[in-house]
Amino acid sequence: MAESKVRKAAAPKAKSAVKAKPAVKPRKPESHLAMVRRARKINRELAELYPYAHPELDFDNPFELLVATVLSAQTTDLRVNQTTPALFAKYPMPEDMAAAVPEELEEIIRPTGFFRAKAKSLIGLSIALRDDFGGEVPGRLADLVTLPGVGRKTANVVLGNAFGVPGITVDTHFGRLARRFGWTAEEDPEKVEAAVAEIFPKSEWTMLSHRVVFHGRRICHSRKPACGACPIAPLCPSYGEGETDPEKAKKLLKYEMGGQPGQRLRPPADFPGEAAARADADAHQGQVADLAVAR
Ligand code: SF4
């Protein structure tokens, strides 16, 4: 994808100074029921904040999503989206990728990093799709995780977004936020997935995953969460882990729909188109500030 096609980052549109109130921390240990209620409220708030939450990898079919998800390890979705058009032009089907010359495939995916290991996985999984699954990506977790380079996280991304099967995707953002929200203390992604699955109905799993990841990428960052500008602050026991000064926190916000890492370059038909997405992003930036003021 040409760099020129990448939209410029929209400037934050805060209309008034953000005056975030400190979160109310529970005085006594929270019961499980109270935690579940608070968790579901966080999900509802995130749904309002990120109505356009969606998978940020470009894909047109399950095979493309599977390949893009394997490539997304240790790199940004934007980098993957810039790499996959050439890749899928040359290897559109599993049979094509299964027969790839490794060095040629490596050269195309080199910008995504770890390109030798990723090329090995892509060729391996393509061979397995060709030989064991009739050239189709299987729609079952048990089958997907047998493919080279495909773990539960990748399998859940594919199931949730290409097959409509509910799945919780525990990547680095999701795990970090689930712990900060007090949903679990587990570090192991599979244990985090199991704990979160107990809190939310299945029908919410896929969109919950997108919303939490959106929040992690935009506001609740790994090293410097923007607590002072976070609309979830009143519901978050980790308020104060990051910057609480509203003005300083506002400067930490990242809106990746503007062309920064994580932007989906080709929004699918069932998500807002480019113009709508831009309008949503602009409106959203004002909304974050307004919600923070309201609290
Ligand atoms: S930014 Fe701060 S208040 Fe908001 S969810 Fe993250 S840790 Fe909690």
**Is the predicted pLDDT of residue 294 greater than 80, yes or no?**
no
Q: Is the pLDDT of residue 273 over 60?
A: no
Reference 266, options 87, 56, 40, 2; nearest CA is 56
From the candidates 77, 118, 153, 250, which is the catalytic residue?
153
Asked if pLDDT for residue 240 goes beyond 80, the answer is yes
Atom of ligand 1 lying closest to residue 226 CA: 1
Residue 235 near ligand 1, beta carbon < 6 Å: no
Tell me the per-residue pLDDT of 99-127, one tens digit each, with 9 for 90 and over: 999 999 999 999 999 999 999 999 999 99
Q: Is the CB of 220 under 6 A from ligand 1?
A: yes
Q: Could you tell which of 46, 179, 213, 220 is best to mutate to test the pocket of ligand 1, judged by most ligand atoms within 8 Å of the CB? A: 220
Distance, in Å, from the CA atom of 134 to the CA atom of 2, rounded to the nearest integer, reads 34
Does the annotation mark 171 as catalytic? Answer: yes
Q: Cα separation of 85 and 225, whole Å? A: 33
Q: What is the 70 CA–ligand 1 centroid distance (Å)?
A: 29
Q: Is 5 a catalytic residue?
A: no
Residue 249: the pLDDT is 92
Say yes or no to pLDDT of 129 above 80: yes
- Rounded CA-CA distance 73/289 in Å is 32
- Is residue 236 within 6 Å of ligand 1 at its C-beta? yes
Three-state SS across 142-159? Answer: HHHCCCCCCCHHHHHHHH
Q: Considering the chain, tell me which residue range(s) the CATH 1.10.340.30 domain(s) occupy.
A: 62-162
Residue 44: enclosing H or E segment and its boundaries?
A: helix 32-49
Using a 6 Å cutoff on CB, does residue 219 contact ligand 1?
yes
Q: Which of 214, 232, 288 is the pocket-test mutation for ligand 1 (most atoms within 8 Å of CB)? A: 232
**Of the CATH numbers 3.40.1670.10, 3.40.50.2300, 3.30.70.2190, 1.10.1670.10, which one belongs to the domain with range 10-55+168-294?**
1.10.1670.10
End-to-end CA distance of the chain: 41
Task: Look up the pTM and report it.
Answer: 0.74
CATH architecture of 62-162: Orthogonal Bundle (1.10)
Predicted local confidence at residue 34, as pLDDT:
96
- Condensed to tens digits (0 to 9), the pLDDT of residues 61-92 reads 999 999 999 999 989 888 999 999 999 999 99
Which residue's CA is minimally distant from atom 2 of ligand 1? 227
> Which residues of the chain does CATH 1.10.1670.10 include?
10-55+168-294
Q: Which residues contact 140 (CB under 8 A, 6 or more apart)?
A: none
The finding on whether 122 has its CB within 6 A of some atom of ligand 1 is no
Residue 230: CB within 6 Å of ligand 1?
A: yes
